[in-house]
Amino acid sequence: MTPRLAPGMLDRLPPAVARPGHDRAGMVSGIAHIGVGAFHRCHQAEYIDDLLALQPGPWGITGINLRPPALADTLGAQGGLYTRMALDGDRVAARVMGSILKVVDSQSGPAPALQVLADPAIRLVTLTVTEKGYCHRPATGALDHDHPAIRADLAAPEAPRSLPGVLVRALEMRRAAGAPPLTLASCDNIPANGRILRGVVTDLAARRDEALARWIEANVAFPHSMVDRIAPAVSDADRDRLATLYGYTDAAAVVCEPFRHWVIEDGFAGPMPDLASVGVQLVADVAPHELLKMRVLNGAQTTLAALGALCGLDHTFDDIEDPVLAAFVSRMLVEETLPTLPPVPGLDAQAYVGQSLDRLRNRAIRHRNHQIATDASQKIVQRLLAPMAERLRRGQPVGLLSVAVAGCMAYLIRGAWRFGAPWTPDDPIAADVAAIADRLGNDPPALVRAISGLAAIFPAELAQTPAFRTEVATALAGLLGPDPRGYLASRCGTAAALP
């Protein structure tokens, strides 16, 4: 029987598998992480594993999941150990990570999470909870006071259901216990993530207790950060490959590309791990790095996921290998996106576009279009709508960005049952779009007016701009037609025939 990864196996791992470079026996947790999914295990947890090998200290991680999946039977059963496989073509770099010391499931109630977060030994809390977790309005960044979980948390603050509610209650407990200052660092791909996190936490706190809100302002830091690594959902084939190559099973294994990057604002509350020693960039202003990554790499991913699905393609590498989609997204980024970006010191933006598209060609990273398209409505505000709005204010064309936005709309529209597409969109506005499509049918101008009227996503200034509505409606008509790929070819001057 193939053995399963466990602490007692570390000395028996095959030579091809790297193991933790630190002694886990005496480690303590100084970091809590909320949302222990594949990305965290491929990114922040790896940096901390590097740090512990270089400088042993009180910076082990306690992982918390407030939402499924549960951790006890996977990561927990393996003592927090898991294998990270970095894939590049046929090359595999396998490494067992040891920075996560324990895991906590808090899906059935907040008490386990609150106990960890209120512990005075915890000095840093990092989060990867996706855009939906912040219970905010993407168009404005403000707390959504009408969100059911927020309403419930205001009614029963000691039994919070939302992420902001859990954090506010934990901070209230820390205040009562005289705990030291705390740093809360969002590692999610949302614009100005530190500002968003600060806003939803302090807003909710102020609605309960103005004194608590003032204490949070004085004792809690919310640094912005930019994180980057492609880490698709692990598959059974990935787990089988690990067992075949290395002779053990791992229920918590993750896969990713070799590239990684982390930029964080140098503004913390109290002692912090020496992240700079393991390659994390500490800067005064994260915004230029964040905008470049979100609008170029993430903008390309969101655009390709929607357009690729509409063209019948399965994975990002399928999209970028298609000459029509590759030509379209490259032109969009260079001609319309890059001119909206501030310079990043020491970085060539055009070279960054090429590097980003090359990363998406990695066939070993099986990132499915439908996975990337999940919650796209929460992502397009910064990735696509913000650069469109900037260009329209300057009187500049937005024809290519309009196609990308229309692609996201068409993905949701075609996923409505009446259009018979072979997918069901996973998006907070999917039901709204389905109802709009059912009511209006295939009427692109009317569809654009109705969908862009969803104020939580589309800023009114943009949605009511005639050029926005006209350009997006024109593109939507082409993408809802019988040959979306042919339409894309006509927009970017590329032959539609496959190579």
What are the pLDDT digits (tens) for 226-252?
Answer: 999 999 999 999 999 999 999 999 999
pLDDT band at 139 (very low <50, low <70, confident <90, very high): confident
Residue 146 has phi, psi (to 5 degrees) of -95, 0
Q: What secondary structure letter does DSSP report for 269?
A: S
Question: Edge to edge, what strands does the sheet with 281-283 contain?
Answer: 225-228, 261-265, 281-283
Closest among 280, 369, 286 to 320, alpha carbons compared: 369
Is 31 in contact with 61 (CB distance < 8 Å)? yes
Phi, psi of 135 (to 5 degrees): 55, 40
Please give the Cα distance from 49 to 30 (Å, whole number). Answer: 13
Q: Which residue has the tokens 């999914």?
A: 37
Residue ranges per structural domain of the chain: 7-283, 287-492
pLDDT in tens, 478-497: 999 999 999 999 998 764 44
Structural element, H or E, at residue 447: helix 444-451
pLDDT (tens digit, 9 = 90+) per residue, 382-440?
999 999 999 999 999 999 999 999 999 999 999 876 666 788 999 999 999 999 999 99
Superfamily (CATH H level) for 7-283:
NAD(P)-binding Rossmann-like Domain (3.40.50.720)
Residue-wise pLDDT tens digits, 32-81: 999 999 999 999 999 999 999 999 899 999 999 999 999 999 999 999 99
| Distance between CA atoms of residues 458 and 147, nearest Å | 18
Rounded CA-CA distance 151/65 in Å is 22
pLDDT digits (tens, 9 = 90+) for 196-209: 999 999 999 999 99
pLDDT at 91 over 90: yes
Task: Tell me how many helices (H) and strands (E) the chain has.
Answer: 22, 13
Asked if pLDDT for residue 92 goes beyond 60, the answer is yes
Q: Is the dihedral of CA 203, 206, 208, 212 positive or negative?
A: positive
Q: How confident is the model at residue 499 (pLDDT cuts 50, 70, 90)?
A: very low
Q: Please give the full DSSP string across 231-246, using - where no structure is assigned.
A: -PPP-HHHHHHHHHHH
Task: Please name which of 382, 378, 389, 366 lies closest in space to residue 412, comparing C-alpha atoms.
Answer: 378
Closest C-alpha to 252, from 228, 233, 275:
233
pLDDT at 415: 87
Q: Report the C-alpha gap between 190 and 287 in whole angstroms.
A: 11
Q: Is the pTM of this model over 0.85?
A: yes
Q: What is the rounded end-to-end Cα distance, in angstroms, of the chain?
A: 46
The alpha helices in 162-286, defined as continuous H runs, are 163-177, 193-208, 210-219, 236-246
pLDDT digits (tens, 9 = 90+) for 347-363: 999 999 999 999 999 99
| Spatial separation of the C-alpha atoms in residues 92 and 209, rounded to whole Å | 52
pLDDT 10s digits, 247-302: 999 999 999 999 999 999 999 998 999 999 999 999 999 999 999 999 999 999 99
Distance CA 55, CA 47 (A): 12
> What is the number of alpha carbons within 13 Å of residue 135 lying toward its C-beta?
25
CB atoms within 10 A of CB 146: 10
Residues 6+ apart with CB under 8 A from 1: none
Tell me, what's the pLDDT at 419? 64
Q: Which residues of 205-233 are buried (b: 16+ CB within 10 A; e: fewer)?
A: bbbbeeebbebbeebbbbbbbbbbbbbbe
| Residues with Cβ within 8 Å of residue 421, at least 6 apart in sequence | 414, 415
Average pLDDT over the chain, rounded to an integer: 95
CATH match for 287-492 among 3.90.550.10, 1.20.1290.10, 3.20.20.70, 1.10.1040.10: 1.10.1040.10
pLDDT higher than threshold 60 for residue 498: no
Report d(CA 458, CA 454) in Å as an integer.
6
| SS3 of residue 327 by DSSP | helix
